[in-house]
Structure 1
Amino acid sequence: MKTLLFYICVICTFSSFSQDTLAELLDKHNKNSIPYISIEELTENNTEPILLDARELEEYNVSHLKNAIHVGFNKFDLKKTTKQLPNKQQFIVIYCSLGIRSEDIAEKLKKEGYTNVYNLYGGIFEWKNNDLPLFNLKDEETHNVHVFSKIWSTWLTKGIKIYE
């Protein structure tokens, strides 16, 4: 009986620390208050979106999506961001590493009346995992991706992981 109880405890412990899929991870951390847009939908869309990067500046400086505007997370300035986005109906896609921080920023824009805001499913990690280009501050293509932390880095399967 003690052996059975031990195995049940071990299984429960490991299952509480791991996420089997990206969908499970996002379900755990997000409220699904903002619609996701997939990498495929974004790349196949004929409309050019405004891309907002909700990661910290050191992450953005390593690499970002082409023409993305850095808005950050910890120091996000709603007033400054809305000044850059006068059309509240424009197509806006917000991303971060995986799609968790970007939901929070997207919610703030939605509360301000923006009606066409999407959260990039899987964030910059999924972008790179799909072999799509990233750019550094010199607007040169790069394979470097700031992974935020060791824990989140497991979701990046392609590219060069940068931790600092």
Structure 2
Amino acid sequence: MRIYFSIFICIFSIGIQAQGNIPKALKELNKETVPYIMVNELKGKKNMVFLDAREVNEFKVSHIKGAIWVGFDRFKAKPIVKKIRNKKTNIVVYCSIGVRSERIGEKLQKLGYKNVYNLFGGIFEYKNSGGKVVNSKNIETDSVHTYNKEWSAYLNKGIKIYED
């Protein structure tokens, strides 16, 4: 699964990089099966549970404070169902820009969760809009794992971290 998804992302990211922005990338890569929530809509919202759908190495570099890591490749429903028992809980799923989080959001919807949102632009847009992120020690950081060099073009604020 991961290899096919990685190949898919690589093929499309080359073309999308030339086009240049997150909205175009999401239009190309997503089906919009999970409603988006914009970063500016998060202000003032209470009782939102954030789920990070990136891989653990990305999460350790930085994540939205209080987010629960659920991963992508090894996503397991059981721990989520145990932690979030109320199916009406407001859940915001995010990844780098919103592609992997849509897939995880779909899985949550199939589990019966009613209020699942995909953070438009993911952690990149969150950071680009002035949002604060923390590292694995819960200390505020400017570093953001950008998945790879190509996707780092979408992060405009912060320190770009990725493995070659």
Taking structure 2 as the reference length, the TM-score comes to 0.87
Say what the alpha-carbon RMSD is for the aligned residues: 1.5
Amino acid at match of 1:37: I
Once the two structures are TM-superposed, the CA of residue 155 in structure 1 deviates from its matched residue by: 0.1
Partner Cα distance (2:38, 2:61) in 1: 23
2:157 is matched with: 158
What is the TM-score with the length of structure 1 in the denominator? Answer: 0.87
Structure 1 residues 16 and 127, CA gap change in structure 2 (3 angstroms): closer
Shift of 1:19: 2.4
Unaligned stretches of 5+ in structure 2? 1-13
* CA contact 2:63–2:133 (8 Å) conserved in 1: yes
| Cα distance change on mapping 1:114 and 1:15 into 2, 3 Å | closer
Matches of 2:70 and 2:16 in 1, distance apart?
32
Partner residue of 1:32? 32
- Structure 1: tracts of 5 or more residues without a match: 1-13
- Asked if structure 1 preserves the Cα contact closer than 8 Å seen for 2:53 and 2:70, the reply is yes
2:129 is matched with which residue? Answer: 130
Query: How far apart are residue 15 of structure 1 and its match?
Result: 6.5
Tell me how far apart the structure 1 counterparts of residues 17 and 140 of structure 2 sit (CA, whole Å): 35
The structure with the largest alpha-carbon Rg is 1
What do residues 6-52 of structure 1 show as CA deviations (whole Å, max 9, x unaligned)?
xxxxxxxx96762243221101100000000000001232x220000
Q: Give identity over the alignment, percent.
A: 49
Whichever residue aligns with residue 99 of structure 1, its letter is: G
CA distance, structure 2, for counterparts of residue 81 and residue 124 of structure 1: 20
Give yes or no for contact 2:16–2:24 (8 Å, CA) kept in 1. Answer: no
